[in-house]
Each structure stands twice: as C-alpha cells, then as structure tokens.
Structure 1
C-alpha cells in the first residue's frame, strides 16, 4: 500500500497537468512563435577530426551543439566529418560553437570552421576546406 499511494498521487498530478495544458492551448502555432522570437540566423560548417563512430561521437557532438543557447539546429555528418549549425548570431558566435565541440571531448578537434549561406553538398571534408 505504501508503494501504491505515491504512484497514484503522481498519476493524478500528471493528468491534472495535461488538462491544464490543454486548457491553456489557444490554437497558437508554437512553431511560428519560436521562429519569430529567434530572429536572424546564420549558418556555419565545422570540419571535425577525432570522430570514430556515427552514433557515439557524431551524436554526442550534435547533442552538445543543440544545447547551446542560440543554436536553432545542429546536424553532424560522421561520413563527411562535418557539423552543420544554424544559429542566432546575437546569442552565439562561431568561436562558441568551436569551443563547445572541443569541450565535448579532448579527442574532437575543429580543423576548419566557416560561415556559409547554404550548407554544402560536397562529398568530403577535404573538399570543404578548398
């Protein structure tokens, strides 16, 4: 009985929170609000060395970049050894993105970083630095 009571209490709180959220939803497009509040964005490509696997390394770097305040999107392509990041330049600068990657692990190094208008479709990291 001691284990059941807290479980029932938690379930009631969850149900109450869901009802409150649905009552507060006035059919506002939350995506539009997020984009409007985000402001102007820039794009950057960062060539990264030291990644050894797609799931662990690339995924870890991608999650680290996504957590940075001002980053709208981050994608890390293991095969190309490339991070593609869209961010708000008033909240984060290119150097912050590089530092985030370096701090994620000592094995990751940013070889080359640049701002771009559109993300490249080139096949390899070597072609990007040309």
Structure 2
C-alpha cells in the first residue's frame, strides 16, 4: 500500500514539473505615440485603442483623440516600440493612420 502511495506521489510531482511553464518576468515599458489620420473619437481613436488592447504584449493602451496620441504600456519581452508603430500603421489597411514616437510624454 505504501509503495502505491510513493509511486502516485512521484507521478504527481513529475506531472507538475513537466506541465509548468517557465514564468518570464514582465519587462514593462511605456511609450507615447503621436497618431495622425484620426478624424473622429468613436470610429478612429476607439478602434485603435481596442485593437491595441488585444495585441499580444500590450498591457494597457489609451488613445486620446483630442491630443492625437496613444499612451501604451507593454511587455518588452513580447513586443517593441517599433512593432507597435508598425501595428498602428497597418490598421485599416495601412492607408489611414501614421504613428510615430512622441517627444512629449
């Protein structure tokens, strides 16, 4: 009976060790991007914010229509400033919005 318990305990320990993924620490960075081409708050700013919020690596995104900016917190292990700019530039077929890193934060 105790041998069964021992084997069962070993089996559980092995499955836990094998099943656990390595936990990467989040490398949180922030960027403020200027976005040109937005013409309205609902159709443009909210759409960009919604799409950014769903992008892998984005922790938080706020698009402010009146300032034509996006303030983004992201995991630098997953994405980069350059990738975020390219992502925004590609929204709506790549013809409407142009993002660039803002000098004012």
TM-score of the alignment, normalized to the shorter chain, above 0.5: yes
TM-score by length of structure 2 reads 0.70
Match of 2:30 among 39, 43, 58: 43
Q: Deviations over 1:106-126 (max 9, x none)?
A: 11011x315xxxxxxxxxxxx
Alignment partners' CA distance in 1, 2:25 and 2:44: 28
Per the TM alignment, residue 38 of structure 1 is displaced from its structure 2 partner at its CA by: 6.1
What is the RMSD of the two structures over their aligned residues, measured on CA atoms?
2.1
Gaps of 5+ in 2: 1-22
Secondary structure of 1:56's aligned partner: helix
Q: Deviations over 1:70-124 (max 9, x none)?
A: 10000000000000000000000011101111111211011x315xxxxxxxxxx
Secondary structure of 2:31's aligned partner: strand
- The number of residues matched between the two structures is 81
TM-score by length of structure 1 reads 0.57
1:73 equivalenced with 2:40 (yes/no): no
- Provide closer, same or farther for how the CA distance between residues 38 and 62 of structure 1 changes in structure 2, counting only shifts above 3 A: farther
| Maintained 8 Å contact 1:66/1:73 | yes
Equivalences for 1:1-130 in 2 at 5 Å?
Answer: 39-105=26-92, 106-110=95-99, 112-113=100-101, 128=104
Alignment partners' CA distance in 2, 1:66 and 1:37: 20
Asked which structure has the greater CA Rg, the reply is 2
Gaps of 5+ in 1: 1-35, 115-126
Structure 1 residue ranges (4+ consecutive) displaced by more than 6 angstroms after TM superposition: none
| Maintained 8 Å contact 1:73/1:87 | yes
